[in-house]
Structure 1
Amino acid sequence: MGFTKPDLPPVDPDTFIQQPLMQRMQVLALHWVEHGFGTPRMVHAIYILKLLVFYILGGVVVATTTSRLPAFWHVADWWKQPIVYEKAVLWTVLLEAIGVAGSWGPLAGKFKPMTGGIRFWARTGTIRLRPWKRVPLTVGDRRTVVDVALYIALLATVTAALVLPGVHSDSLSAAEPGDTSGLVSPVLLAPVIAALVLNGLRDKVIFLAARGEQYLPALVFFTVLPFTDMIIALKLLIVTVWVGAGFSKLGRHFANVVPPMVSNSPGVPLRWIKRAHYRDYPRDIRPSRLAHLMAHGGGTFVEIITPLVLLLSPWKPVTLAAVAVMVLFHLFIISTFPLAVPLEWNVLFGYAAVFLFAGYPSWQGYGVADMSSPLLTLGIVAALLFFPVLGNLRPDLVSFLPSMRQYAGNWASAVWAFAPGAEQKLNVVTRPTANQVDQLVAFGYDRKWADITMQQTIAWRTMHSQGRGLFSLLLRHLADIDTRTVREGEFVCNSLLGFNFGDGHLHNEDLIRAVQAQAAFEPGELVVVWVESQPVHRDDQAYQVIDAALGVIERGTWKVADAVAEQPWLPNGPIPVQVTWSRTVAVPLPRASSEQDHEREVQA
C-alpha cells in the first residue's frame, strides 16, 4: 500500500464484476483479512492531522482563551479545570453537529465532498426522519425552513456557550476554593438543551449525529446540579456508557467484529497478526480463539470491570491504573480507524477518564456515597439506565446508540439491491451529494474500480454476523442477484442523510418510503433486506424484505447461532430463516389475479 494509492484487490475488473455475487464476496472478504479497506495512508494521515490540530489543539485553545486560563501549553494549569471539561463537551457537540467529527471523510463513505452534516441539515428539502410518529408537529419527511432554523439555532447556542467566559459558582468555590474560572453559565446551557431536544424530535439524525444520548445528560448535569453532585453524576454517566457497551458485547456478535476491525487497522502492519485473528485463513475466516480473547478479554472484561473499579475504588494506585487502562482502550480504538471514525469521541472519553477519576477521585470527596442525596443518586442511575435497558429488550424502539451498543456488532443493518441501472434513480433525491460510486469517479477512480471499492463494503458486512443472514435473504428472494447492484445500507444512508453511524434505524422503511416518493422505483427495481438488532432475551433476529415500490413484502427471523456458524460467502447456501409473515398471506388476492400478482412479488 502506498501513501497516496489504495490497496486494491488483485482482480481484473472487467471479469470480476461479471462473477456471481458470492464468489466476489469470497475474494473481497479474503482480501480484507490482510488489507482491510485498502485505504491509502494519506487518508489516515488526514484523520490524524484533523484529530490532533483541529480537534485537540483547536479545542484546548478555544477552552483556555475563552475561560481566562493560561496559554494552552500550560497543561498543568488547565487539565483539571471544570470549565475546560464543559467546553470540551461543547466543542465536541459543535463539531459533531456540523458533521466534521464522527462519520466524516472517506472511511465513512464521504469521498467528495468529505463533509455531510451541515450541507444536508442547513438545506430545505432534504430528508429528515422523525423518531416517533405520535409526537405532534413532526409530520413529514422533508426538511422545512423551521427545521433549518432549529438546526442553526443549535449551532448558535452551542457556539455562544462555548466562547463566552464562565460565571462564578458558589458550589464550585466551596468545593475547589482555588478555582477562578467558574463554570459555563446555566443560562447559556439551557438553550442548547432545548435546541438539541427540539431538533431531535423533528429529526433523529441530527440528535444522534450530535451524540445527544451521551452529551445531553452531561449538559443537563452542567446546568442543574451543584458542583460535587455534577462531578459524581458525570462519573455515573461515563460508567453507564462503558458498562452498557461492555454488556452488549456478551453475545455471539462481537467476536465477529474484532477480526475485520484489526485487519483494517494501519497500526497492525504485519499480515500474520491479522491472519491470527481468523481460524484458518483462507479456508475458514470465522473468529479464532485469539479473536475471542480480544473480544471478551480486551473488550467485554475491560469495559465492564475497569469502569466499576474506577467508580468504586478508594485506592489511588488501583484507580490510576484503571484510568491508564481506559485511556489505552480508547487509544486502541482510535488506532483501528473504525468505519464510522468516532475518533473525537474516543479522545474525549480518554480525557474524561483522566479528568473525572484522577482529577476528582473518590478519596477527595467525589465518590458515589458523597452525592448530596441517595434519592438523587438512584434517580440519576435509573434515568441513565432507562434507554439501555429498553433498547436491549425492545431494540425496535430505541437506536443502538442510546442502547449503548457501540462496536458490539449487534446492529440493525441492511443491504440494498438495485436492478441494473436503477441505482441512478437516487440522483433525483434532494441532496447535496451523489452516489458513492459517482463520488469516487469524481475523486479520480475508474468507474469499475469505484464499483469494486464499494463492493468491498458489502464484503465487510458479510464478515459480521448479520451479513450472513442478509445475504441469505438476497439469495432466497432474487433470482437475478448476480446481475444486481448490491450496496451496503450504511453507505447508501450516508449519501441520502449526510450521516451514518452503524444504526440501521436510519435506513429502515421510513427512509425507503421517503426516497421512493422522489425516486419512484418500479416494483422489483429496489429490494432492501433489513434486520433488527438481537434482543437480549432472544436467540434470533427479526428481518424484513422491503420492495421500495410495494413496501414490506416479508417478515421473519433467523437464529444468530446459524449466522455466526457460516463463512461470509455462504458456501453451504443460505442460512435457515423462519417466515412469520408474507404479503401473499397477509393480503389475500382475488383468485383470478392471485397467481400473476404472486409471481410478480416473488420476482421483486
Structure 2
Amino acid sequence: MGYKTPDLPAADAADIVAMPTFERIRYLATHWVDYGFGTAKKTHVGYVLKVLLYIAIGITVATVSTGAGAPWDVPAWWDEPIVYQKMVIFTILWEMLGIGASSGPMAFRFSPRVGGHRYWLRSGTLRNPPWPGKIPFTKGGVRAEIDVALYASVVLSLIVILTLPGVDSNSLASAHPSATAGLLNPVLLWPMLILAVLMGLRDKITFLAMRAEQYLPAVVFFATLEFTDMIIACKLLMAVIWIGAGVSKFGHHFTKVVPVMMSNAPIMFSKILKRSLYRNFPEDLRPSRVGSSVAHILGTTVEIAAPLILLFSTNQTATLLAALLMVAFHITIFLTFPVAVPLEWNIMFAFVTVFLFLGFPTWDGYGLGNMSSPWLTAGVVAALLFFPVLGNLRPDLVSFLPSMRQYAGNWASAMWAFAPGAEKKLADKVLMSSPNQVDQLGGAYGYDLAEMLLQKAIAWRSMHTQGPAMLSALDRNLDDIDRYTLREGESMIANLVGWHFGDGHLFNERLLMEIQRRADFAPGEVVVMWIESQPLHKDHQEYKVIDLGLGVIERGTYRVKDTLETQPWLPDGPIPMTVTWQRAAHAERVTAEAGN
C-alpha cells in the first residue's frame, strides 16, 4: 500500500464486476483478508489531521471561553471540570454537524465528504420519527421547516453554551477548591436538552447522530447534580457504556467482527498475522482460535473487567493500570479506522477515562459510596441501564446505540438489490445528501473501478454474521441475483438520511415506503433484505424481505449459529431459514422457481 496508491485486486475491475455474484464475493473477500478495503495511506492521514483539528479547536474553545488557561498550558486547565464539560458539548456539536463519525471515504462519503448539516438544514429531505403513531405532530417522513428550525436551534444552543463562561458553584468550591473557572450554567443546558428531545421525536436520525446515548446523560448530570454527585454519575455512565458493550459481545457476532476489522487496520502490516485470524486462508475464512481469542480476551474481557476496577478499586496501582488499559483500548480502535469512523468518540473517551478516574479517584471521595444518597445512586444506575436492558431483550424497540452494543456486530442491517436502471431512478427521484456512491466514484475513477469498490463492501458484509443470511434470502427471493446490483445498507443510508452508523433502525419499512412514494418503483425493481438485531436471550434473528413496489413479501427467522458454519460466498448454498410469512403471489412464484 502506497501513500497515494490503494491496494487493488490484481484482476481487472471490469472482469471482477462481470463475475457471477458469489464468485465475485469469494474473490473480493479473499482479497479483504490481506488488504481490507485497500485504502491509500493518505486517507488515514487525512482522518488523523481531522481528529487533531477536533482536539485543537475543542481544547481552545473549552479553555479560552472559561479562562481556564492557555490551550497549550495543560497543567493549568487539566483539573478544571468545566473543560471536561465543554469538551462534551463541543463533541456533540462536532457530531451534529456531520464532521465526526460518518464522514469521509471510509464512511462511504467520497464527494462531498460530509453529510449531516448539508442534509438536515434542507426541507424536503427524509426523516424517520421513532413513534409517529404515538407521539402527536410527528407523523410523516419528510423534513419540514419545523425540523430544520429544531436542528438549527440545537446547533445554536450548543454554540451559546460553548461561548459563555462558567458560573460559580458552591459544591465545586467545597469539594474541589483548586478549580477556579466554575461550571457550566445549568440554565443554558435545559433549552438544548429540551430542543434535542423535540428534534429527536420528529427525527431519530439527528438525535442519534449527536450521539445522544453517549453524551446527553452527562449533560443531564451537569444540569441537575451537585459537583461530587455529577462526577460519580459520569463515572457510572462511562462504566455502563463500556460494560454494556462488553456484555453484548458475548454472542457469536463479535467473533466475526474482529478478524474483518483487523484486516482493514493500517497498523496490521503483516499478512501472516492477518491470515492467522482466519481458519485456513484462502479456503476457510471463518474466524480462527487466534481471531476468537483477540475478540473475547483483548476485547470482551478487557471492556468488562477494566471498568469494574475503575469504578470500585481503591488501589492506586490497579486503577492506574485499568485506566491505561482503557486508553490503549480506545487508541487501538482508533487505529483500526472502523467503518463509520467514530474516531473522535474514541479520543474523547480516552481523555475522559484519565480525567474522571485518575483526576477524581475513588480514594479521594469519588466512589459510589460517596454519592449524597443511596437512592440517587440507585436512580442513576436504573436510568442508565434502562435502554441497554430493554434494547438487548427487545432490539426491535431500541436502536443498537442506546442499547450499548458498540462494535459488537449485532445490529439491524440491510442489503439492497437494484434491477438495471433502478439505482439511477432513486438518484433522480429522491433528494439525498450526496449522489449515489457509484456516481461519486465513477466520475473520478471510472465506473468499473467504482462498482468493484462498492462490491467489496458486499464482500465485507458477507464476512460478518448478517451477510450469509442476507445473501441467502436475496438469492431465494430474486428471480436472478446476478441480474441485480447489490448495495450495502450502510452505504445506501449514508446518502438517504445524511448519516449512518451501522444501524438498520435508521431506515425501516416506513422510511422505505416514503422512498417508494417518491420513486414509484415497479415490483421487483428494488428489493431490500432487512435483519433485526439478535435478542440477548434468543439464538435466532428475525428478517423481512421488502420489495419497494409491493411492500413486505417475506418474513422469517434464521439461527445465528448457521451463519458461522458457512463461507461468505455460500459454497453449500443458502443457509437454513424459517419462513414465517410470505405474500401469496410472491410465495407461488418462489415455489415455482424452486421446483424448476
- What TM-score range do you get, normalising by the shorter chain? over 0.9
Could you tell me how far apart the structure 2 residues matched to 1:325 and 1:471 are?
A: 39
CA contact (8 A) 1:489 1:507 kept: no
Deviation at 1:597, TM superposition (A): 9.0
Match status 1:430 vs 2:431: yes
Aligned residue for 2:544, secondary structure, equals strand
Deviation at 1:535, TM superposition (A): 0.4
Aligned residue for 2:410, secondary structure, equals coil
Could you tell me how far apart the structure 2 residues matched to 1:205 and 1:561 are?
A: 31
Could you tell me how far apart the structure 2 residues matched to 1:518 and 1:410 are?
A: 31
Could you tell me how far apart the structure 2 residues matched to 1:13 and 1:104 are?
A: 26
CA contact (8 A) 1:490 1:507 kept: no
**Equivalent residues in 2 for 1:562-577, closer than 5 Å:** 562-577=562-577
Residue identity matched to 2:296: H
Residue identity matched to 1:473: A
Deviation at 1:471, TM superposition (A): 0.5
**Equivalent residues in 2 for 1:556-595, closer than 5 Å:** 556-584=556-584
Aligned residue for 1:553, secondary structure, equals strand
**Equivalent residues in 2 for 1:157-556, closer than 5 Å:** 157-427=157-427, 428-442=429-443, 444-556=444-556
Deviation at 1:602, TM superposition (A): 8.0
Deviation at 1:480, TM superposition (A): 1.2
Distance 1:296 1:432, change over 3 A: closer
Aligned residue for 1:523, secondary structure, equals coil
Task: Name 2:28's counterpart in structure 1.
Answer: 28
CA contact (8 A) 2:79 2:179 kept: no
CA contact (8 A) 1:131 1:202 kept: yes
1:83-109 C-alpha deviation (Å, 9 max, x unpaired): 000011011000100000111100001
Task: Name 1:38's counterpart in structure 2.
Answer: 38
Residue identity matched to 1:127: L
Deviation at 1:432, TM superposition (A): 3.6
**Equivalent residues in 2 for 1:102-117, closer than 5 Å:** 102-117=101-116
Aligned residue for 2:179, secondary structure, equals coil
Q: More deviation in 554-563 or 12-21?
A: 12-21
1:103-160 C-alpha deviation (Å, 9 max, x unpaired): 1100001100000000000000000000112111101110011000000000000011
Task: Name 1:47's counterpart in structure 2.
Answer: 47
Task: Name 2:93's counterpart in structure 1.
Answer: 94
Residue identity matched to 2:358: A
Deviation at 1:600, TM superposition (A): 9.0
Residue identity matched to 2:402: P
Match status 1:599 vs 2:570: no
Distance 1:597 1:414, change over 3 A: closer
Aligned residue for 1:17, secondary structure, equals helix
Could you tell me how far apart the structure 2 residues matched to 1:117 and 1:390 are?
A: 28
Deviation at 1:508, TM superposition (A): 2.1
CA contact (8 A) 1:465 1:564 kept: yes
CA contact (8 A) 1:477 1:602 kept: no
Could you tell me how far apart the structure 2 residues matched to 1:342 and 1:21 are?
A: 31
Aligned residue for 1:165, secondary structure, equals coil
Task: Name 2:156's counterpart in structure 1.
Answer: 156
Gapped regions of structure 2 (runs ≥ 5):
none
Aligned residue for 2:542, secondary structure, equals strand
Could you tell me how far apart the structure 1 residues matched to 2:78 and 2:272 are?
A: 40
Task: Name 1:121's counterpart in structure 2.
Answer: 120
Could you tell me how far apart the structure 2 residues matched to 1:81 and 1:69 are?
A: 7
Deviation at 1:413, TM superposition (A): 0.6
Residue identity matched to 1:329: F
Could you tell me how far apart the structure 2 residues matched to 1:11 and 1:528 are?
A: 29
Deviation at 1:2, TM superposition (A): 1.9
Number of residue pairs the alignment of both structures matches: 592
Task: Name 1:589's counterpart in structure 2.
Answer: none
CA contact (8 A) 2:442 2:448 kept: no
Residue identity matched to 2:431: T
Distance 1:599 1:468, change over 3 A: closer
Could you tell me how far apart the structure 1 residues matched to 2:245 and 2:592 are?
A: 40
Could you tell me how far apart the structure 2 residues matched to 1:153 and 1:346 are?
A: 27
TM normalised by structure 2 equals 0.98
Residue identity matched to 1:547: D
Could you tell me how far apart the structure 2 residues matched to 1:601 and 1:416 are?
A: 22
Match status 1:71 vs 2:70: yes
Paired-residue identity, %? 54
Residue identity matched to 1:401: L
Could you tell me how far apart the structure 1 residues matched to 2:262 and 2:587 are?
A: 47
CA contact (8 A) 2:80 2:180 kept: no
Deviation at 1:13, TM superposition (A): 2.5
Gapped regions of structure 1 (runs ≥ 5):
585-593
1:438-477 C-alpha deviation (Å, 9 max, x unpaired): 01123x1110100000001110000001111111111111
Could you tell me how far apart the structure 1 residues matched to 2:550 and 2:592 are?
A: 12
Aligned residue for 1:257, secondary structure, equals helix
TM normalised by structure 1 equals 0.96
Distance 1:377 1:560, change over 3 A: same
Could you tell me how far apart the structure 1 residues matched to 2:196 and 2:44 are?
A: 31
1:184-214 C-alpha deviation (Å, 9 max, x unpaired): 1001111111111111111000010000012
Could you tell me how far apart the structure 2 residues matched to 1:30 and 1:381 are?
A: 45
Could you tell me how far apart the structure 2 residues matched to 1:116 and 1:254 are?
A: 28
Give the CA RMSD over aligned residues. 1.4
Task: Name 1:587's counterpart in structure 2.
Answer: none
Residue identity matched to 2:589: E
Task: Name 1:588's counterpart in structure 2.
Answer: none
Deviation at 1:270, TM superposition (A): 1.3
CA contact (8 A) 1:414 1:507 kept: no
Could you tell me how far apart the structure 1 residues matched to 2:422 and 2:151 are?
A: 33
Could you tell me how far apart the structure 1 residues matched to 2:174 and 2:13 are?
A: 69
Deviation at 1:15, TM superposition (A): 2.5
CA contact (8 A) 1:221 1:230 kept: yes
Deviation at 1:343, TM superposition (A): 0.4
Match status 1:81 vs 2:80: yes
Deviation at 1:79, TM superposition (A): 1.9
CA contact (8 A) 1:395 1:533 kept: yes
Could you tell me how far apart the structure 2 residues matched to 1:518 and 1:42 are?
A: 39
Deviation at 1:540, TM superposition (A): 0.4
Could you tell me how far apart the structure 2 residues matched to 1:154 and 1:598 are?
A: 51
Could you tell me how far apart the structure 1 residues matched to 2:316 and 2:433 are?
A: 52
Match status 1:57 vs 2:56: yes
1:383-442 C-alpha deviation (Å, 9 max, x unpaired): 000000000000000000000000001111110001111111111201241100001123
